Amino acid sequence: MPDLTPSCRLALAECLAVKAGEQVLIVTDTDLQPLGEAFFQAARELGAEVVYITILPRANHGQEPPAMVAAAMLKSQVVVLVTAKSLSHTRARRAANDAGARIASLPGATADMLVRTLAVDYQAMAVDCERYAAILTRGQEVHLTTPAGTDLTFSIAGRQGQPDTGLYRQPGDFGNLPAGEAYIAPVECTARGTLVIDGALAGFGSLKEPLRLQVEHGRVVAVAGGETATALKEMLDRYGEASRNIAELGIGLNPLAKLTGNVLEDEKVKGTVHIALGDNSTFGGQVEAPSHLDGILLRPSLSVDGQQVL
C-alpha cells in the first residue's frame, strides 16, 4: 500500500483545517481499517484530540451507523467517515453537521485513489463547483441526454444547488473526499423519460452492459440490462418504493478523477453527470430511503432552462 501520510495530512490540514487540540473523530469499518488508521495517525501528528472508532460494515449505502457512533459524532468538531458503505446520506451525519461538526465522507475510498486525487488545486476547483451550483440554483427545468439513450427531464425549481469543493473549514460544512462536483435534488414526482447508466453504479462498479431505466412521476418503474438489472431490481424491491426516487443530479468537476468502477471517484470525473436513486433528504429533497445509489452517465448533454451548460 502506498504511503498515505501526506494525503491524509493534506485532507485534514487543508480541506478540514484541523487545528491542534480539536476534537476529531475517525469512523472506519473493518473493510477500510488501514485507511482509517492512516487518518488517525495524521490527526495525531497535527496535535488533534483524536478518537478512532471501527464499526462493522453497513449493509448498504445510506444505512445509519450504530447509535453510539452517532452520539460521538454529535460531540466532535471534525468527523472523517472512512467506510465501505456511505454514511453521507444518514440522519447521524446530518445531526452532527447541525451541531457544528465539519465532516468529510470517503465511502469506498482506496489508497491509490487518495494518493492520486487529493492533491488537486482546491481553489480552482471550488470556482467551477460554485459556478455550476449557482446555475442549478437559478434553474427551473433540466433536460439530460446521452449518446447511450438517456432522455430525461425534471424540475429543479426552488431547490438549492450544492458545491462540493473539498474545502470544509466552517462549522456545519460537509462533503466528499475526493471532492469535485455540483449537485441538486430534483423536485419529487417531476422526472420522466429514459435514464441509461453506462459508466458505473454504486455497489456494482463499472458496468459491462448499460442499465436502461424507465422513469415516470419521479420514480423508476422498469429496469433492463442483464444481470446487473436483475440485482438492481431486487435491491429496489427490498428497500421499498422510496428507493426508486430520482434523488440527485450531479456534475463531475475533479480534473484528477478517472473512471475506475469506484463511484466515490467516478461521480467526480470531469465531463460526467450522475443521477442517484433513493434518499435525498440530507441535501434539500423530501424523500427518506435506506439507500442512495449513484449512477454515472458518460458524454452527457445537460441543458438548464433551454441553455446547454455541459
Rounded average pLDDT over 18-32: 98
Domain of 111: which CATH number? 3.40.50.2300
* pLDDT over threshold 90, residue 2: no
Domain boundary among 117, 149, 179: 117
- pLDDT, tens only, 34-47: 999 999 999 999 99
- pLDDT, tens only, 56-87: 999 888 899 999 999 999 999 999 999 999 99
Share of the chain above pLDDT 90, in %: 93
Q: Judge if 268 and 133 occupy the same domain.
A: yes
Note the pLDDT of residue 203: 86
Q: Judge if 170 and 47 occupy the same domain.
A: no
Hey, what's the cell of 216? 415516470
Q: Judge if 146 and 208 occupy the same domain.
A: yes
Note the pLDDT of residue 134: 98
Query: Which is more confident, 149 or 61?
Result: 149
Q: Judge if 165 and 301 occupy the same domain.
A: yes
- β-pairing, 78-82 with 307-308? unpaired
- The residue among 39, 45, 99 whose CA lies nearest residue 72 is 99
- At CA 70, angle to CA 65 and CA 74, rounded to 5? 155
pTM: 0.86
Would you call 158 exposed, middle or buried from its count of C-beta atoms within 10 A (0-12, 13-18, 19+)? exposed
Q: Judge if 74 and 207 occupy the same domain.
A: no
Domain boundary among 102, 117, 132: 117
Q: Judge if 159 and 42 occupy the same domain.
A: no
**Count of the separate structural domains present in the chain:** 2
296 band by pLDDT with thresholds 50, 70 and 90: very high
Q: Judge if 182 and 41 occupy the same domain.
A: no
* pLDDT over threshold 90, residue 130: yes
Q: Judge if 217 and 269 occupy the same domain.
A: yes
Q: What are phi and psi of 15, to 5 degrees?
A: -75, -45
Rounded average pLDDT over 6-32: 97
Rounded average pLDDT over 96-104: 98
Note the pLDDT of residue 225: 94
Note the pLDDT of residue 174: 94
Q: Judge if 103 and 238 occupy the same domain.
A: no
Q: Judge if 102 and 128 occupy the same domain.
A: no
Rounded average pLDDT over 182-200: 98
* pLDDT over threshold 90, residue 220: yes
Note the pLDDT of residue 62: 85
Q: Judge if 211 and 92 occupy the same domain.
A: no
Rounded average pLDDT over 234-241: 94
Domain boundary among 86, 117, 148: 117
| Average model confidence (pLDDT) across the chain | 96
Rounded average pLDDT over 108-125: 93
Q: Judge if 36 and 185 occupy the same domain.
A: no
Query: What is the span of the domain harbouring residue 24?
Result: 5-117
Query: Which is more confident, 187 or 202?
Result: 187
* pLDDT over threshold 90, residue 252: yes
